Structure formats: structure tokens, C-alpha cells
Chain A
Amino acid sequence: MSRRLGFFARAWAVCAKDAAQELRRRVAIASIFFFAATALALVSYAVGPFGIPPESRSRLDASLLWVILFFSAATSLPRAFVREEETGTGLGLRKVAPGVVVLAGKALFNFLLFLAIAALSVPAFSVLLEWRVRSKAGLLAVILLGGWGLSIVSTFLSALVARAGQRNVLFLVVSFPLLVPLLLPAIASTIQASEGAVEGTPLRVLAAYDGAATCAAYLLAAVAWED
């Protein structure tokens, strides 16, 4: 990868490489969407229109939506760096791009994958559970901010666990406590979006969390991905 390329061009190249790799092994991508569909079917069967009436579960719906989004994304998020170690391509990638560029590219890929999961899951969730969203722009803002926070934290943690034993279990152990402060305001903002306008503390907390996590990941990327 030429050093003359700018930061974003090189990060985009890493993202495109990951996308090409994932699309080549279609089973990995398909399994993520299959997981989301299964979780959605299970939730709508248990608490759908005939389970709990829609007007009684506006708060529950927001939590269930984020549970589906989080666990669907969690099946793919740890793979960002783990895949490089498993296929033996980590050393090559270290030689051609600095840690911060690789982290940015992989976080971008995870973010786009999260948006793809959300683009399919949210409309399906809305139809199957008769979930009405009054502020669609508000929900979009929450999904963008929540998705970026989830992607950057997960990608950074994936770099940390990539060369440890029991990686996949370890990823869940280390990621869950760090992601709760993101998921709580995301759920609170989603409730606001379904009831009307998104405003106030939860969305600001979400934005602040994203900013803090992005800065910390940027500063520590080289250490996390060091050989």
C-alpha cells in the first residue's frame, strides 16, 4: 500500500480488502444475517402483536431492537483482527500499513456491516412487531452514533484479543462491560425516537462516548496491533 496515499484512502483500502474477503466467503456474511433473522423471528413470536399489545411495550421494543442489533453484530465484530491472525496475513498487513490505518479501515468495515444489518433488521422489526417510530431522523441519528461506537470499541478490542487464547469467548467477556455505557443511552434515545423527538442527555452521551472511544482507540491503535 503506497505511503503516498492519504490516511483515509489507505483506511478505505483496508476496508475494501475486508469486504472483498468477506464477500468471497459468503457463508460468514450469510450467517450474520441469518442470526439476525432468527433472533427477530424468535422475538416477534414471543412478544409480537398477539403476545404483548404494541401500546404496552414501547420501552421493551427499543431494548429488544438493540439486543438483536448488538448480538447480530457481535457474531462478526471480533473477526476484524482475529481473521488476520488465523489466516496468517497479520504480519503482511503490519508491514504495509500502520496500526491506526488498519484499525480505521476495519472499524469502517464493521460500521458498514452494522448499517447493513440495521437496514434489514429495523424495517423487519417495525413490520413484525407493529413498532411505530415517530421520529425517523432521530432513529437514524441513534443508529449511526450507536453503530459507530459499537464498531470502534469492538474493532479495538478485537485487536487486543487477536493473539490471546480463547479469543471469541474472551471478546464477549471484555466487550460487554465496555459497551453497556453505549447501549444504555442508545436504548434511551430509541425510546425517545419512537415516542417523538430525540433530544437531551442520552443522545449527547452517545456522541460523547463515540468521541472518547474514537480518540482512545486512535492513540492506542499502534500498541494494540504491535507485533
Chain B
Amino acid sequence: MKFFKLLLLPFMGAVVAAAFLWPEPAKGFLGESSRIVFFHVPCAWTAALAFIVAAAYSVAWLLKREARFDDVAETAVRLGLLFAVLTLLSGSLFAKIMWGSYWNWDPRESSYLLLVFLYSAYLFLRAAVSDPERRARIGSAYAVFAAVLMPFLVFVAPRVTASLHPQTVINPQGKILMDTPTKTVFFAALAAFTGLFFWMLEIESRLARLGRERARSGQREAG
């Protein structure tokens, strides 16, 4: 495990360097703007993955009722929100260059904004419940319910209305429309962001667990 963590830093560095130096800018895009695909799409992928991980750990909490599963689920949602916000920011930069304004109410732009609202609501819901056991139960039920309906927001709703969004990765043909160097760097970036997410998840979950244990020992000393 430690070997993979040590490998991640040079791997991420190589991906960033390759993203700017190796593939040619894609045709049909202004200037170098197409290179954003190496950062924007992995952020979007990582956000969706984080919310799926949150749902999986929420199911684990519902089955086992162990607090550590709830720690991971909440941490995954927080990290998912971070990556979703990065997706929105990088998408806005691309939109400004390609379409002339930072926000265009493009269905896919809007679906990620709603995703941020959807999982911010998870944090609001948790914050409104003081009892830890009930907070975990309500949070887990909401996370699973939201994960069932999330595909309608991210994959289905944007297809009901017309979109300005480039269709290089998700398109009706079901093919990735990229040349070999672009595809290589793209998949390497997906792997690097996924690795980074799981590393951050491990550190943050450990911190959440320590915080919970410290709060519990503080209560015991006060009692």
C-alpha cells in the first residue's frame, strides 16, 4: 500500500506534464482549451465515484451499525463535493473560452451544480440531528436514496434537453472519440485522480475516527 502511495506523486506529476506536452490540441476547440479534459473529466469522475463510495459505506452502516462506516461515508461525501466544485470551476473556465461566458445553463453544467446541492443537503441533514446514532441512520438512508436517483440527474436529465457540451467521452455512439496519445493521458489522469481520492479518503476517515474517539473520551472525563 505504501509503495502505491509513494508511486502516486511521480505518477501524478508525469500525468500533469504529459497533459501539457504530449497530445496535440483537439480539432474543433479554441487554442489549448481541449487540454482541460485531462483535469475536468477526472474531477467529474472522482466526484461521482466518491458519492458511490459514500452510498456503499452507508449500506455497510445500515447492515453492521458500526460508526467507522459512517465516518467513511461522510468523508467520501465531503471529498465528492470538493471534486464536484473543482469540476464546476474547470468547466466554467472551458465555457468562458469556448462559449463566451462562465455559466450557460448547459444541462451537464447544471446537473453537477444540482449534484453539489444534493450532497450539500446530506451535510445539512446531518447537521440538523444531534444524536450520533440517529444522525448516522438518517445520513445513511439519505445517501443510499440519493445514489439511486443520482444517475437520473447526472446521466439521464442532461439527455432530455439539448446540450452545448462536447461529446468526446459520453455520446450516443458509446465510443471515446480521442486519438491514442490523448486517450493514454486521459486514462492515466483518471487513474491518478482515483488514487488521490482513495488516499485522501483514508487520511480524512482516520482523522474523523480520531475526532470521534477524542470527543467520546472527553465526554467520559467530564462525566
- Give the interface of A toward B (CB within 8 A): 153, 156, 160-161, 163-166, 170, 173-174, 176-178, 180-182, 184-185, 188, 201-202, 205, 208-209, 212-213, 215-217, 220, 223-224, 226
| Most chain A CB inside 10 Å of its own CB: which residue of B115, B141, B160 | B141
Pull 25 A–B residue pairs with CB atoms less than 8 Å apart, ordered by A. A153-B149, A160-B125, A160-B142, A161-B125, A163-B129, A164-B125, A164-B128, A165-B130, A170-B125, A173-B121, A174-B121, A176-B117, A177-B115, A177-B153, A181-B152, A181-B153, A182-B152, A184-B157, A188-B161, A205-B160, A208-B156, A209-B152, A209-B156, A220-B141, A224-B141
B134 within 8 A of A: yes
Q: Are B149 and A181 in contact (CB under 8 A)?
A: yes
B46 within 8 A of A: no
Q: Are B141 and A213 in contact (CB under 8 A)?
A: no
Interface SS majority for chain A: helix
Which of B145, B146, B161 lies in contact with A217, CB distance below 8 A?
Answer: B145
- Write out, one digit per residue, whether chain B residues 142-175 have a CB within 8 A of any chain A CB (1) or not (0): 1011101100110011011100000000000000
Q: Are A201 and B160 in contact (CB under 8 A)?
A: yes
Q: Are A212 and B125 in contact (CB under 8 A)?
A: no
Known A213-B149, A216-B144; judge A170-B124 contact (CB<8 A): yes
Across chains A and B, which 4 residue pairs bring their CB atoms closest together, nearest first? Answer: A181-B152, A177-B118, A164-B128, A216-B148
Complex Cα spacing A215 to B144, Å: 12
| Most chain B CB inside 10 Å of its own CB: which residue of A164, A170, A224 | A164
Known A181-B153, A181-B156, A220-B141; judge A170-B128 contact (CB<8 A): yes
Q: Which residue of B lies closest to A166 (CB)?
A: B128
Which of A161, A174, A177, A208 lies in contact with B114, CB distance below 8 A?
Answer: A177
Q: Are A209 and B121 in contact (CB under 8 A)?
A: no
| Most chain B CB inside 10 Å of its own CB: which residue of A160, A163, A177 | A177
Q: A185-B160, A202-B160, A205-B157 are in contact. List 7 more A-B contacts (CB 8 A).
A: A164-B129, A173-B124, A174-B121, A174-B124, A178-B149, A185-B157, A213-B149
